[in-house]
Chain A
Amino acid sequence: MAGLRPVAREQLRASATLRWRLLVNSLRSVRGRLNLVSRSIGGLVVGSAALGGAVALGATAWELTSNGKVQWLAIFFWIIFLFWQLFPLMATAFTQNVDTSAFLRFPLTYRTYFFVRLVMGTLDIATALGICWSIGVLVGICAAVPRLIPWAVLAVLAFMAFNVLLARMTFVWIEHWLSRRRSREIMGLLFFLVMIGFQFIGPALDHYSKKPATQRFRYVAKAAPVERVLPPGLCTEVLTAAEKRNLPKALGALAMIFAYSGTALGLLHLRLRQQFRGESPEDSAAAAALTSSNVIRPGWKLPFVSAPVSAVFEKELHYFSRSGPMLFTMLVPLLVVLVVIGGRRSLLAQQSELFFPIGAGYCLLVMTNLVYNSFGGDGGGIQCLLISPVSFRQIVFAKNLAQFTVLVTEILILWLGVCLIYNPPRLVFLALTFCWYLFATPVNFSIGNLLSLYSPKKIDYAVFGRQRASETTIFASLGVQLVIMGIGALTIFIGYRASNYWIGVLILAALAIPSITGYIVVLRRIDPIVMTRREVLATELCKA
């Protein structure tokens, strides 16, 4: 900062202080302090990944370079490159970034603004890990062949600079799109799909390893020319050429990395300059895209229930269908069954007829957040429910009806999946699952309704991760689920020991009677409870 004017220096200091104060102020609440603990643990994990990754990559790079297989380093550079560029984008689904474009309202020079945007945006996990891993590779190469040190230092530094600039450039160009709620949901969904995709790496490798070597090399040969002209490949090209003492080729490859970095820098400058001048093409495009329509579709009408119950039911399903995380949660049981298919040889695969009851139990489990904090997603809308002339018994019943509909849909999908992948479950297992649900669902709904009123917590169902119900709800729901699952497992065990699963069906059917009665009793008590809890509900759920 020595070359900066005093005003600019003070502005940069103020920007750094802002980040620090945001952290300190977040510690005022218990939740904030708990977040710091989880962040510290996360920091340790990231630190371990950085150090461990750097050591592992360094050791492998040393091994490859020592054995004259420098061209294989391309794999590392590609892994680092892809992680560096893709992880921050997907992480936007989980994090609220400081909107550095807000700095525009202050009298910053363009140079200072550019510097703030570049530096503040770079302080992320992907950059930290990318730099550590790149340095690990660099150390490995240098230790293996000291003659390559100057080239390796230049190539890796250029590679790191390119990654920093490209990541910033991409983010700055698409941040308007990313700032939209829907975009963040899409990125969050992509992130989870990528995470699940890792489950399929093993089977994929297994599949390709069975192909003849000539066919495998044909794929590699096709990709090689493209790979070589992109920065991770160019970085390897510098080292390969330097190893063979082909200086013009090494210099050419290095120049191309600088050219890529220059292009990224130029595009970053172009965009930031636009922002600095107050130009925002997206806003005018959005304004032009507005349409007008005065046709309003009437709401849903469910048979046998009142209009308010239909209205709340419709609202709940709209909420559910618009929540990426909830839809993803719904897919989980099916994905688990699909992933388990990869391990047909596993112990559980011998008991495939249990997949349906186990999957059905899992379906109920993944609904816990929704059922035990059923007003959490309503936020300020709770006031609308409180001021409306409708009894809360109807509102809560409508919410339970919607949750039950989701559960039934999920179980149907699961049943289809199990039928397609394995065999249709036997009648006795269908009956076991049905009776367990008759017992377990009312218990869950009864306790869930009470906890939703006694321990509400505002939750944004559009956001992935870091959102939990209150601690009380988490522990209580965990206990209830353990008991319910335990009873289910016990009845299956009794049926297994008696060689007659119908005994389990009878036990569960008998347990369903007090469970349903309890649900009705709780539902009848809902309105007096709401009268005493209305202020807590409104205060807790209307929090900003």
Chain B
Amino acid sequence: MGAAILTENLTRRFGDFAAVDDVNLHVETGQFYGFLGPNGAGKSTTIKMLTGLMAPTSGRMQILGLDLATHLVDVKRQIGVVPEGMALFGRLTGSEYLNFAGRMYGLDRNTAAQRAAELLEFMELLDHPKTLITDYSHGMQKKLAMAAAVIHGPKVLFLDEPFEGVDAIASGTLKAMLQRMTARGATIFLTSHVLEIVERLCTHVGIINDGRLVAQGSLDELRSGITDEASPGERMSLEEFFLKTVGGPRTSAQELSWLG
């Protein structure tokens, strides 16, 4: 299998500040890749560059073997994106938006309408046919953004915090859908703050801190690379590995003494 996502020395600077610094990502086709990092580490900037929403300062990016700098439109046809801002048109209804997204990705009117109906039913959003997206709850908006990202059957899916604000039932449905997609050969690149979700879903993980990629590999590789100091011989959980890699929690001296 070839690389679905490949970056070489990917860098993005804002003045003197390097939000993403010399990042070399390698995500194989069919992988469920979790991209982790603390707040402000450079996750969203990376995803914006990989999806064409932002230009890199330097470095190269390839999606499914196509260079983003020269084949941007061809790449866009094959990817689906749920960006940070969800990319929704607030004054459309859910069905109108999915219809719109489908046709923008080249589906014919009838196919777009049919898939829109299926997705709305799958996401349990059919109860709100006349409600404008601006009046949806945050969780409903997330589900709709996810539906729009997959309506054209993308080969690579980029998801920026997809489960944030989504209820447990819908979250379960979405996870099952994503796992089925990877089983069929799609590649998923996901950022999340919730390490349990990444640990449960992802096969591979990359960790970014202060703009630099500090770890990358399969979950098993990463966890077997370092052993738990407290319990020698035992493998670390992803959370322990993450904290070890990006810096541990606050010490007890920093705790708030007046809290019960």
A residues apposed to B, CB below 8 Å: 180-181, 290-299, 301, 307-308, 310-312, 314-315, 318-319, 322-323, 377-391, 461-462, 531, 534-535, 538, 542
Residue contacts A-B, CB under 8 angstroms, 8 given: A290-B127, A290-B128, A311-B104, A315-B89, A381-B89, A384-B89, A385-B104, A535-B55
Contact A291–B109 (Cβ < 8 Å): no
Contacting residue for A388 out of B105, B109, B129, CB 8 A: B105
Output the least CB separation between B193 and chain A (Å).
19
> Cβ of B205 < 8 Å from any Cβ of A?
no
Complex Cα spacing A296 to B114, Å: 7
Inter-chain contact B103/A292, CB cutoff 8 Å: no
Q: Is B10 engaged at the interface, CB distance under 8 Å to the other chain?
A: no
Q: Binary interface profile of B, 53-80, with partner A (CB < 8 Å = 1, else 0)?
A: 1110000000000000000011011010
Minimum CB–CB distance for A430 against chain B, Å = 35
A386-B52, A387-B53, A462-B91 known; A380-B85 Cβ under 8 A: yes
A322 interface neighbour in B54, B91, B110, Cβ under 8 Å: B91
Contact A296–B87 (Cβ < 8 Å) = no
Excluding A181-B132, A315-B100, A380-B88, 13 further A-B contacts by CB distance (< 8 Å) are: A307-B106, A311-B104, A319-B92, A382-B87, A383-B85, A383-B86, A384-B87, A385-B104, A386-B53, A388-B101, A389-B104, A389-B105, A531-B55
Q: Write the chain B residue with the least CB distance to A390.
A: B104
Task: Encode contact with A along B228-239: 1 for CB under 8 Å, 0 otherwise.
Answer: 000000000000
Q: Which of A319, A389, A390, A531 has the most CB of B within 10 A?
A: A389
B135 in contact with A389 (CB, 8 Å): no
Which residues on the B side are within 8 Å of A311 (C-beta)? 99-100, 103-104
- Contact of B192 with A by CB under 8 A: no
Q: Which of B116-124, B173-181, B244-252 contacts A (4 or more CB under 8 A)?
A: B116-124
Assess the A297–B113 pair: CB atoms within 8 A.
yes
Residues of B within 8 A of A312 (CB): 100, 104
Chain B residues within 8 Å of A301, by CB: 109
Partner of A308, one of B85, B92, B104, B114: B104
Does B90 count as interface, using CB distance less than 8 angstroms?
yes
With the chains together, A42 CA to B105 CA distance in Å?
A: 49
Asked if A380 meets B103 with Cβ closer than 8 Å, knowing A461-B91, A531-B55, the reply is: no
B117 and A383 contacting across the interface, CB-CB below 8 Å:
no
With A294-B121, A311-B103 known as contacts, the answer to whether A384 contacts B126 (CB < 8 A) is no
Q: Which 4 A-B pairs have the closest CB atoms?
A: A383-B87, A381-B89, A389-B76, A384-B87
Q: Does B95 contact A (CB under 8 A)?
A: yes
- Rounded to whole angstroms, the CA-CA distance of A388 and B128 in the bound complex is 25
In the complex, the answer to whether B54 meets A315 with C-beta atoms within 8 Å is no
| B: number of interface residues (CB 8 Å) | 50
User: A residues within 8 A CB of B73?
Assistant: 389, 391
Chain B residues with CB under 8 Å of A385's CB are 104
The reply to whether B103 and A308 contact each other, CB–CB distance below 8 Å, is yes
The answer on a CB contact under 8 Å between A294 and B126 is: yes
Q: Are B100 and A380 in contact (CB under 8 A)?
A: no
Residue in A closest to B107 when the chains form the complex, CB atoms: A307
Contact A383 B53 (CB under 8 A): yes
**CB of B143, distance to nearest CB on chain A (Å):** 16
Q: Do the beta carbons of A299 and B89 come within 8 Å of each other? A: no
Say how far A296's CB is from chain B's closest CB, in angstroms.
4
Interface on B for A, CB 8 Å cutoff?
48, 51-55, 73-74, 76-77, 79, 81, 83-92, 95-96, 98-101, 103-106, 108-110, 112-114, 116-117, 120-121, 126-129, 132, 134-135, 148
Q: Would you call B86 and A380 a contact (CB within 8 A)?
A: yes
A291 touches B127 (CB 8 A): yes
Please judge, given known A-B contacts A292-B127, A535-B55, whether A318 and B91 are in contact too, CB under 8 Å.
yes
A307 surroundings in chain B (CB, below 8 A): 103, 106, 108-109
Complex contacts, A319 vs chain B, CB 8 Å: 89, 91-92
Known: A308-B103, A388-B105, A391-B73. A318 touches B96 (CB 8 A): yes
- List chain B residues, Cβ under 8 A from A298: 99, 109-110, 112-113
Q: Is the CB of B134 within 8 A of A181?
A: yes
Complex: chain B residue closest to A307, CB-CB: B103
Contact partners of A308 in chain B: CB under 8 A? 103-104
Q: For A296, what are the chain B residues with a Cβ–Cβ distance below 8 Å?
A: 95, 98-99, 113-114, 116-117, 120
Residues in chain A near residue B90, CB distance under 8 A: 379-381
Please state if B128 and A381 are interface contacts (CB–CB under 8 Å): no
B126 touches A293 (CB 8 A): yes
The smallest beta-carbon distance between A79 and chain B, in angstroms, is 37
Q: Is the CB of B89 within 8 A of A378?
A: yes
Note all chain B residues with C-beta closer than 8 A to A388.
76, 101, 104-105
Complex alpha-carbon distance, A225 and B91, angstroms: 48
A382 and B86 CA atoms in complex are apart in Å by 10
Shortest Cβ distance from B90 into chain A, in angstroms?
A: 6
Contacts of A322 in B (CB 8 A): 91, 132
Check A542 against B85 for contact (C-beta < 8 Å).
yes
A384:B88 contact, CB within 8 angstroms: yes
Q: Which residues on B sit within 8 Å (CB–CB) of A379? A: 89-90
Q: How far is the CA of A394 from the CA of B109 in the complex (A)?
A: 18
A308 to chain B, nearest CB (A): 5
Within the complex, what minimum Cβ distance (angstroms) separates B141 from chain A? 10
Residues of A near B87 (CB, < 8 A) are 380-384, 387
Separation in Å of the A215 CB from the closest CB of chain B?
A: 48
| Residue of A299, A323, A382, A542 touching B103 (CB-CB under 8 A) | A299
CA distance A385 to B97 in the complex (A): 12
- Cβ contacts under 8 Å, B120 to chain A: 294, 296
Closest to A383 in B: B87
- On chain A, the residues within 8 Å of B127 by CB distance are 290-292
Minimum distance in angstroms from B207 CB to a CB of chain A = 25
Contact yes or no, A538 B53, CB < 8 A: yes
Indicate if the CB atoms of A387 and B52 lie closer than 8 Å. yes
> A295 vs B129: C-alpha distance in the bound complex, in angstroms?
9
B88 to chain A, nearest CB (A): 6
Min Cβ gap B200→A in Å is 27
Known: A384-B101, A391-B73, A535-B54. A315 touches B88 (CB 8 A): no
- Which B residues are CB-close (under 8 A) to A295? 117
Chain B residues with CB under 8 Å of A386's CB are 52-53
Most buried by A among B55, B98, B104, B134: B104
Asked whether, in the complex, the Cβ of A314 is within 8 Å of the Cβ of B134, the reply is no
Closest chain B residue to A380, Cβ basis: B85
A312–B51 Cα distance when bound, in Å, is 21
CA distance A383 to B158 in the complex (A): 13
Hey, which chain B residues are within 8 Å of A318, CB to CB? Answer: 91-92, 96
Contact of B96 among A180, A310, A315, A461 (CB under 8 A): A315
